[in-house]
């Protein structure tokens, strides 16, 4: 969020939840776009790194007043102390380090949104990879894709369009490589 999007007295629980969702979705979509040929394990590492970078550099963590608002709305306000120890949330004078507390809360909040999205992507990616492995080079891509989806029993499933899109993304990445 930018400075103009909210002020100290306007940051609500709903805005916090929207910010968390926005971060989770952008972390995953940007990582997928930046690493088109990565498998699920490689992607998990990249997503983990981007999660840290995003939360560490977000305005909700950097600015003290925003950090305090994050803690007011997060259900994970004690995450940093429980995961990294009480000393990690104190500055050199023994005062609360608001940014450290907010980092932990935002990290946990975004993680709770991000990892289910990642797991759904990984499942779809696994199906897409399996389908692409079965494609016969002699067939036209979309026709062969439909045959492979039918063979795997995925025709008409709720995720069929997402599987097709992921197949197309992977196929384009392999062709352009």
Which pLDDT tens digit goes with each residue over 93-125?
A: 888 889 999 999 999 999 999 999 999 999 888
Domain boundaries, the chain: 3-176
How far apart, in Å, are the Cα atoms of 62 and each of 89, 106, 148? 14, 11, 49
**In the beta sheet, which residues pair with residue 90?**
96
Instruction: Assess contact for 66 and 94: CB atoms under 8 A.
Output: no
Reported pTM: 0.81
Residue with tokens 């840290």: 52
Which pLDDT tens digit goes with each residue over 6-41?
A: 565 678 899 999 999 999 999 999 999 999 888 999
């Amino acid at each position: 969020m930018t400075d103009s999007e909210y002020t100290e007295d306007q940051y609500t629980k709903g805005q916090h939840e929207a910010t968390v969702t926005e971060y989770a979705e952008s972390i995953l979509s940007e990582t997928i776009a930046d690493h088109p040929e990565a498998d699920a394990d490689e992607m998990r590492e990249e997503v983990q790194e981007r999660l840290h970078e995003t939360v560490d550099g977000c305005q909700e963590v950097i600015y003290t007043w925003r950090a305090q608002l994050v803690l007011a709305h997060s259900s994970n306000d004690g995450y940093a102390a429980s995961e990294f120890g009480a000393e990690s949330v104190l500055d050199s004078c023994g005062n609360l380090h608001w940014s450290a507390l907010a980092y932990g809360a935002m990290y946990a909040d975004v993680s709770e949104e991000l990892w289910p999205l990642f797991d759904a992507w990984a499942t779809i990616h696994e199906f897409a990879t399996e389908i692409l492995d079965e494609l016969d080079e002699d067939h036209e891509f979309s026709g062969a894709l439909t045959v492979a989806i039918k063979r795997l029993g995925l025709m008409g499933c709720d995720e069929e369009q997402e599987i097709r899109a992921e197949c197309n993304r992977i196929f384009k990445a392999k062709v352009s490589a």
